[in-house]
Chains A and B, each alone.
Chain A
């Protein structure tokens, strides 16, 4: 959906147009669900949080809030809700410095592992890599966002996002290899 289309829909929503809101929901519902699911790794929680995202947006619009970039706004809303969820659950992230070492180790793993991957393996591996990388990989390859859009959502430069994608893929690959090897053992 083009930005101008989104603007028109938002304008219609403000005028009380239900079908415009329904249209926007159907456009983003699945994407937000997938985004949240890979963050929280829990179906029911992902559903709850997805609904909450849309309620929050409705409240914001009803109170006269302005949205310049809807796509960026909805993902940021989702992220904020997930942060709140994590705060409640007291989850921690692996610091980036440690991750650098991990990434270097992947250079030793130059074997051409015949990765006849099934989706379950990828999903499980994706849940195990650090959230920062997971988030970007989900936004990029599952939600089909451009590097620029991702950069706007996570408040990073495009260059950094590109690096995160690259490192994320390496980490995911390493995780898949590790999982496969541990399964063989």
Chain B
């Protein structure tokens, strides 16, 4: 194989070695151009040549025009709406072609968007009588996904692994608490600003604070739930102290311990062991 590599190298070098003289090329070119002038090129096939190019450019123009129109409309869409996939797709494309340095910032922006969608849906009636709409559930899932991606992106830069607790999807009250938490929005904004300033360590800290808020929200809500349960339990039981007093049971008067029997059973137990 070594020999073949040399040969290939040699063949490629022949490209520069075997060249026609430029004088000959110029002379020949002039003759050809003179011949070209003599020829009358008909424009008969002009359209047929142009047509594919024309069609392609029209399709591109329509696509670009309608595409930009659709993209603008999609910008305002929320999870569960028909244009939402277009919005997500355009975000993916932007991320894909973004330089590596800009990607964490873009991810942070996307997380902020997800949070806003989340809040918009909640205010539109995403939580009604402790029932969460499927749309809001989807929005929570989207937020979680994007936040995880953001952490991964930051983690790549700092080579730290960022722990990811699950968002409380099941419990409605916890979700409401999360939406209402103003610190979350503030921290996400600060994360993005830190990434813009290339302060990755700071961005990591902010991300960890966001996680802390999520887990604290979860804890608070769990405590609340427990307190409510205790309260409900107390309300069910009447406050009559008679029922709360523990009356001692009557001792059985005939109960006697037979020492021999006791010892025997003990011995048997020992044998068994």
Determine if B43 is an interface residue (Cβ-Cβ < 8 Å).
yes
In this assembly, does B49 line the interface, its C-beta being within 8 Å of a C-beta of chain A?
yes
One of B34-42, B88-96, B143-151, B229-237 contacting the partner? B34-42
Q: How far is A143 from B14 in the complex, measured between Cα atoms in Å?
A: 10
Q: How long is the Cα–Cα vector from A59 to B38 in the complex, in angstroms?
A: 11
Whether B53 sits at the interface, judged by CB under 8 Å, is yes
Given contacts A51-B32, A141-B11, contact A37 B24 (CB under 8 A): no
Task: Specify the chain B residue showing the minimal Cβ separation from A34.
Answer: B18
B36 contact set on A, CB distance < 8 A = 18, 21, 58
Partner of A123 from B14, B31, B41 at Cβ < 8 Å? B14
Residues 55-80 of A contacting B (Cβ, < 8 Å): 55, 58-59, 61-62, 64, 66
Please encode chain B, from 1 to 32, with 1 for each CB lying within 8 Å of some chain A CB and 0 for all others: 01110111011111101111000110011011
* A 118-159 contacts with B by CB, 8 A: 119, 122-123, 126, 137, 141-144
* Contact with B41, one of A33, A62, A115 (Cβ below 8 angstroms): A62
For window 1-45 of chain A, which residues contact chain B by CB distance below 8 Å? 7-8, 10-11, 13-16, 18, 21-22, 25-26, 29-30, 33-34, 37-38
Contacts of A119 in B (CB 8 A): 10, 13-14, 17
Q: Is the interface of B mostly helix, strand, loop or mixed?
A: helix
Please choose the segment from A85-93, A97-105, A168-176 that sits at the chain B interface, where 4 or more of its residues have CB less than 8 A away: A168-176
Q: Are B7 and A173 in contact (CB under 8 A)?
A: yes
Q: Are the CB atoms of B7 and A169 closer together than 8 Å?
A: yes
A184 to B25, CA, bound (A): 39
Q: Which residues of chain B from 37 to 56 have any CB-CB distance to chain A below 8 Å in the complex?
A: 37, 39-46, 48-50, 53
Question: With the chains together, A37 CA to B37 CA distance in Å?
Answer: 29
Which residue of A21, A29, A47, A143 is within 8 Å of B33 (Cβ)?
A21
* Known contacts A123-B18, A141-B11, A169 near B42 by CB under 8 Å: no
A residues contacting the other copy or chain, number (CB 8 A): 48
Asked if A11 contacts B50 (CB within 8 A), the reply is yes
Q: Would you call A142 and B11 a contact (CB within 8 A)?
A: yes
Residues of B within 8 A of A123 (CB): 14, 17-18
Quick check: is A94 within 8 A (CB to CB) of the other chain?
A: no
Mostly, the A contact residues are helix
- Are the CB atoms of B3 and A112 closer together than 8 Å? yes
- Give the residue name and chain of the A residue nearest to B40 (CB): A62
Q: Assess whether A96 is interfacial by the CB under 8 Å rule.
A: no
In whole angstroms, how far apart are the Cα atoms of A113 and B2 in the complex?
9
Bound Cα distance from A29 to B6, whole angstroms: 27
C-alpha spacing A143/B37, complex, angstroms: 30
Collect the chain B residues with CB atoms within 8 Å of residue A16's CB.
Answer: 41
Q: Which residues of A contact B11 (CB under 8 A)?
A: 122, 126, 137, 141-142
Instruction: From the candidates A30, A66, A117, A142, name the one contacting B49 in the complex (CB within 8 A).
Output: A66
Determine which residue in A50, A55, A122, A144 has the highest number of CB atoms from chain B within 10 A of its CB, and name it: A122
Question: Given contacts A119-B13, A122-B10, A173-B7, is CB(A142)–CB(B18) below 8 Å?
Answer: yes
Binding site for B on A (CB under 8 A): 7-8, 10-11, 13-16, 18, 21-22, 25-26, 29-30, 33-34, 37-38, 47, 50-51, 54-55, 58-59, 61-62, 64, 66, 112-113, 115, 117, 119, 122-123, 126, 137, 141-144, 169-170, 172-173, 176
A-B contact pairs, 9 of them (CB 8 A): A15-B43, A26-B29, A30-B20, A54-B32, A58-B35, A122-B14, A142-B15, A144-B15, A170-B4
The 4 tightest CB contacts between A and B, nearest first, are A141-B11, A62-B39, A122-B10, A33-B20
Q: A21-B32, A25-B29, A170-B4 are in contact. List 14 more A-B contacts (CB 8 A).
A: A14-B45, A18-B36, A18-B37, A21-B36, A25-B32, A37-B18, A38-B18, A50-B20, A61-B41, A122-B7, A122-B10, A123-B14, A123-B18, A176-B7
